[in-house]
């Protein structure tokens, strides 16, 4: 077949690039220059980046920005955010400053339990399987002692293992459902190692169990894997103040604002089409901090969205109340994060971000990330219910449009000034550039 290759992973970096350029690019020199432009001049650092993943050819980086003035539980933070989308950091910073003089953000970790499962098929009597599980459970835990030793020394480890009957969902399907405490580590490798040991021990011991007949001993292990759905690894963050204290330059009537804001959140609670966009805005803030601190934003996304649909209908992750003269806005989400291991100990900018955050524990980081999501959502809903989302967003997007048309620095100064008093749209910017150049 054309454009296929065998043994690509065994090629050197330069050989991989040569093959790609010769196979897919017409202007090979320009493509090669682009690839090499993003290499790090520090060869040791570049080698580190090359070894993060497979088949690397260059680096693809995002801007790392900072949202300052976050008062969280009476401690002030400047929060690092790695993201490419215009206005996210501006909105977070604006929300942080808004709440700075209104008591700041309050956050607490509600639980830190993580989950892993051994999925298996068993064709036999459930009572016999349950009797076997009761007998083998202590052996499952003892067989992992070499894995859990260091984690237990720090106060973590295996919390429990349950046998779960899932045959109503799928014929002959059962689980070993295990819970873990991994402290400051995200714990994926630790959990998966424990699960694979559980599976091996469970399978081996089943052959020795006298209560099984020959068919029942033929337990089939399908897979052993952690879950990124962590509904018992929860953090809550909130802001609150007297309704009259909401008054500001863009909130001249705080009572009207509070009611309208609450209505907007209520709509996201009952309307999935709105809830998805509402929660996407929350994840703008969460993902940016998760990425900046070297954590797995894909795992966080999957777990958070599953949590948003836990009642059978996708709904808002944030909630609002206006009662007894008090405005309250809060979020409760599952976050499995780590501050040791993985990229947190390898990537120099992750270390930089962690130091910026005052070297947080995993629990501290959970609070910071939840607050970033709440702040982002507050900024978005505030804009939607007052000036509209496009006014602020398009002003931030202006620079992207100007760069797209390769505006000079002098042109940028004039056009930024022009759009301080004019509505920013793509067509309006194109027209303004054309007029300026003519």
pLDDT digits (tens, 9 = 90+) for 392-405: 556 566 777 888 88
Find the catalytic residue in 18, 85, 205, 216: 85
Q: Pairing mode, if any, of strands 234-242 and 106-109?
A: antiparallel
Find the catalytic residue in 94, 262, 382, 393: 393
Distances (CA, A) of 174 to 162, 207, 208, 270, 350: 10, 18, 20, 34, 40
- pTM here is 0.89
Q: What is the pLDDT of residues 373-391, one digit of tens each?
A: 999 999 999 999 987 655 5
Query: What does 398-436 look like in DSSP terms, one character per residue?
Result: HHHHHHHTT--HHHHHHHHHHTTSS---HHHHHHHHHHH
Residues 195, 173: Cα–Cα separation, whole Å: 17
Q: Does residue 218 have a pLDDT over 70?
A: yes
Q: Does residue 11 have a pLDDT over 90?
A: yes
pLDDT exceeding 90 applies to what percent of the chain? 84
Residue 393 known to be catalytic: yes
Residues 62, 40: Cα–Cα separation, whole Å: 14
Residues 89, 372: Cα–Cα separation, whole Å: 10
Q: Burial letters for 138-157: b for 16+ Cβ neighbours within 10 Å, e otherwise? A: eebbebbeebbeebeeeebb
Kindly report the number of other CB atoms within 10 A of residue 213's CB atom: 10
Ranking 175-189, 298-312, 343-357 by mean pLDDT, the lowest is: 343-357
Q: Does residue 214 have a pLDDT over 60?
A: yes
For residue 247 the two structure tokens come to 């008054």
Cα–chain center distance at 435? 43
Residue 85 known to be catalytic: yes
Residues 393, 395: Cα–Cα separation, whole Å: 6
- Contact (CB, 8 A) for 225 and 195: yes
Class of domain 114-226: alpha beta
Residues 45, 68: Cα–Cα separation, whole Å: 28
Find the catalytic residue in 114, 296, 347, 382: 296
Q: What is the pLDDT of residues 309-364, one digit of tens each?
A: 999 999 999 999 999 999 999 999 999 999 998 777 789 999 999 999 999 999 99
Q: What is the pLDDT of residues 224-259, one digit of tens each?
A: 999 999 999 999 999 999 999 999 999 999 999 999
Residue 296 known to be catalytic: yes
pLDDT for 392 equals 56
Dihedral over Cα of 424, 426, 429, 431: its sign: negative
Residues 361, 183: Cα–Cα separation, whole Å: 8
Helix, strand, or coil (residue 182): coil
Distances (CA, A) of 258 to 250, 319, 332: 13, 13, 20
- Contact (CB, 8 A) for 430 and 419: no
Residue 435 known to be catalytic: no
| Domain boundaries of the chain, sorted by first residue | 8-50, 64-108+234-387, 114-226, 393-437
- Contact (CB, 8 A) for 398 and 415: yes
- Contact (CB, 8 A) for 346 and 50: no
CATH fold for domain 64-108+234-387:
3.90.770
Find the catalytic residue in 280, 328, 412, 418: 280
């Amino acid at each position: 077949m054309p454009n296929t290759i065998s043994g690509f992973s065994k090629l050197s970096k330069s050989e991989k690039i040569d093959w790609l350029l010769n196979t897919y690019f017409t202007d090979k020199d320009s493509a090669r220059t682009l690839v090499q432009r993003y290499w790090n001049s520090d060869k040791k650092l570049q080698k580190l980046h090359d070894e993060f993943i497979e088949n690397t050819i260059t680096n693809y980086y995002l801007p790392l920005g900072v949202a300052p003035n976050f008062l969280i539980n009476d401690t002030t933070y400047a929060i690092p955010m790695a993201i490419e989308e215009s206005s996210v950091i501006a909105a977070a910073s604006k929300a942080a400053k808004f709440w700075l003089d209104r008591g700041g953000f309050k956050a607490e970790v509600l639980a830190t339990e993580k989950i892993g499962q051994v999925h298996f098929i068993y064709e036999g009597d459930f009572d016999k399987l349950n009797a076997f599980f009761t007998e083998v459970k202590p052996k499952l835990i003892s067989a992992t002692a070499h894995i859990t030793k260091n984690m237990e020394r720090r106060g973590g480890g295996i919390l429990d293992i349950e046998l779960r009957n899932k045959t109503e969902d799928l014929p002959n399907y059962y689980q070993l459902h295990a819970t873990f405490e991994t402290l400051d580590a995200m714990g994926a490798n630790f959990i998966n190692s424990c699960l694979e040991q559980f599976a091996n021990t469970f399978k081996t011991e089943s052959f020795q169990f006298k209560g099984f007949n020959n068919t029942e001993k033929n337990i089939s292990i399908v897979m052993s894997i952690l879950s990124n759905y962590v509904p018992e690894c929860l953090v809550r963050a909130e802001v609150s103040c007297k309704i009259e204290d909401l008054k500001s330059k863009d909130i001249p009537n705080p009572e009207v604002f509070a009611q309208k804001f609450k209505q907007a959140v209520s709509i996201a609670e009952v309307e999935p089409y709105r809830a998805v966009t509402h929660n996407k805005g929350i994840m703008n803030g969460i993902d940016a901090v998760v990425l900046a601190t070297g954590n797995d934003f894909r795992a966080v996304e999957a777990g958070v969205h599953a949590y948003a649909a836990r009642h059978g209908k996708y709904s808002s992750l944030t909630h609002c109340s206006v009662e007894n003269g008090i405005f309250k806005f809060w979020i409760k989400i599952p976050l499995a994060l780590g501050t040791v291991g993985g990229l947190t100990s390898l990537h120099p900018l992750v270390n930089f971000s962690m130091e910026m955050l005052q070297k947080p524990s995993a629990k501290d980081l959970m609070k910071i990330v939840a607050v970033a999501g709440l702040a982002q959502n507050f900024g978005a809903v505030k804009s939607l219910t007052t000036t509209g989302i496009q006014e602020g967003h398009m002003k931030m997007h202006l620079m992207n449009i100007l760069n797209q048309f390769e505006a000079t620095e002098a042109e940028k100064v004039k056009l930024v000034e022009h759009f301080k008093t004019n509505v920013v749209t793509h067509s309006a910017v194109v027209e303004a550039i054309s007029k300026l150049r003519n």
